[in-house]
Amino acid sequence: MIYLDHNATTPPAPEVLAAMLPVLSDVWANSSSQHGPGQDAKRALGAARATVARVLGCKPAEVIFTSGATEANHLAVRGLLAAAAPGRRRVVFSSVEHAGHLRLARALRDAGMAVDLIPVRPDGQLDLAAAQALLGPDVALVSLMAANNETGVLMPVAEVAELSRAAGARLHVDATQFIGKQPFDFSRCGADAVSLSAHKLHGPKGVGALLLRQGVALVPQTLGSQERGRRGGTENLPAIVGLAAALDLLGDVSLEAARLATLRDALESGLCQALPATHVWCQNVPRLPGTSYLRFGTLSVDVVLQRLDRLGVAASSGAACSSGGSEPSHVLGAMGVPADEALAAVRFSLGRSTTLANVTTLLNTLPALLEPLFNPTRNP
């Protein structure tokens, strides 16, 4: 199989499994217990927290382990909002946040909260002037992703951090697609809170973290004594150890980023050459190195994915969470892409396992399978 769906999830690295297995079998005691095995678990938890903090540039006390990015996003938005001054009741999201996160935006709106969405331009980049216009003294919180999961477009976190600070609003950043793919340092990113998820960076599923800047008030959403009272529930120690191992493996991500950008560019130019109806979205704006979002004319993505499947290639129709449905992507909708084009959207997301041979195989086989669909008379 040629796996080109790394933005949906990544396989756990062998080193991650090696770190988790002994914890699963031997370090199963509750880290809140006073006895020896409990203290062993507590030490393992502390060591994992220290690793996460070292790799991400934060203090250990700034790490709140969660069940993944969805929970971290909810904790940040609901928790920061509940702690905001009474006069600050407005929340600002970008219009291209992850589908799950936009559901939270709708739920807040349904509950009577004022929620604004920052638009994006037709090239997928955030409309900073619109962001500035939305940021007034009644804004409690801005929630912005660092990189879009569909287009890969990088969002102007530093600029929005500046605007948020000037307006006295908190900034939450969903860095789920960014961390592991681009250099990241919490102490310099300008956000008050940052979400991440292990399974996007070769860690296990069901674990992630919210990094919360020291001194920033947050009302916990799950009550209990764990995580300094900020997220109750017995810690999922094997998964947390897996997250730490996955982060520890990253090293200098810019080397891998350069490798992936080269492969991605070769894929895009090869497809455009072989199939002139190919259109690549967001090709000329800063974006994640391994993400390619394109359409072959208006060929239905279901047909394309079927052909890819025949070739043993796993790709996606935009956000994995909405695949299977026939709704056009909200991200492309926000960019003003017409529905017939959006319903043709294919996302290739390259990653650690992707090789030049994978790209060559795809370029040698896919055009021949799709070509007849453009010229049906040639292949009755």
Span near ligand PMP by CB under 6 A; candidates 66-74, 84-92, 164-172, 210-218: 66-74
The single-letter code of the amino acid at 160 is: V
Does the active-site annotation cover 282?
A: no
Minimum CB distance to ligand PMP smaller for 163 or for 288: 288
The single-letter code of the amino acid at 143 is: S
Which contacts of 11-16 are long-range, i.e. CB under 8 A and separated by 24 or more positions?
11/202, 11/353, 12/199, 12/202, 12/203, 12/204, 12/242, 12/246, 13/202, 13/203, 13/245, 13/246, 13/249, 13/352, 15/245, 15/249, 16/202, 16/203, 16/204, 16/242, 16/245, 16/246, 16/249
- Residues counted in the chain: 380
The bridge status of strand 170-174 relative to strand 193-197 is: parallel
Span near ligand PMP by CB under 6 A; candidates 63-71, 122-130, 262-270, 351-359: 63-71
* Closest distance of CB 7 from ligand PMP, Å: 6
d(CA 212, CA 208): 13
Minimum CB distance to ligand PMP smaller for 9 or for 132: 9
Q: Which residues pair with 118 in a beta bridge?
A: 94
Give the count of residues interacting with ligand PMP (CB under 6 A): 13
The single-letter code of the amino acid at 91 is: V
Residues 275-304 touching ligand PMP, rule: CB under 6 A, are: none
Minimum CB distance to ligand PMP smaller for 174 or for 192: 174
Measured distance between the N- and C-terminal CA atoms of the chain, rounded to whole angstroms: 30
Identify whether the C-beta of residue 4 lies closer than 8 Å to the C-beta of residue 348: yes
Binding status of residue 316 toward ligand PMP by CB under 6 A: no
* Closest distance of CB 208 from ligand PMP, Å: 5
Minimum CB distance to ligand PMP smaller for 166 or for 321: 321
Binding status of residue 52 toward ligand PMP by CB under 6 A: no
Query: Which residue of this chain has its Cβ atom nearest to ligand PMP in the complex?
Result: 68
Residues 154-193 touching ligand PMP, rule: CB under 6 A, are: 174, 176-177
Residues 198-227 touching ligand PMP, rule: CB under 6 A, are: 208
Residues 135-154 touching ligand PMP, rule: CB under 6 A, are: 145, 149
Minimum CB distance to ligand PMP smaller for 100 or for 297: 100
Task: Give Cα 340 to chain centroid, integer Å.
Answer: 26
Q: Which of 143, 164, 197, 278 binds ligand PMP (CB under 6 A)?
A: 197
Binding status of residue 98 toward ligand PMP by CB under 6 A: yes
Residues 6+ apart with CB under 8 A from 262: none
Binding status of residue 354 toward ligand PMP by CB under 6 A: no
* Closest distance of CB 68 from ligand PMP, Å: 3
Minimum CB distance to ligand PMP smaller for 186 or for 296: 186
d(CA 182, CA 176): 11
Span near ligand PMP by CB under 6 A; candidates 68-76, 259-267, 276-284, 302-310: 68-76
* Closest distance of CB 72 from ligand PMP, Å: 8
Identify whether the C-beta of residue 282 lies closer than 8 Å to the C-beta of residue 152: yes
* Closest distance of CB 202 from ligand PMP, Å: 13
d(CA 370, CA 380): 14
Structure tokens at 232: 């109750």
Binding status of residue 68 toward ligand PMP by CB under 6 A: yes
Active site members: 321
- Applying CB under 6 A, the residues found at the interface with ligand PMP are 68-70, 98, 100, 145, 149, 174, 176-177, 197, 208, 321
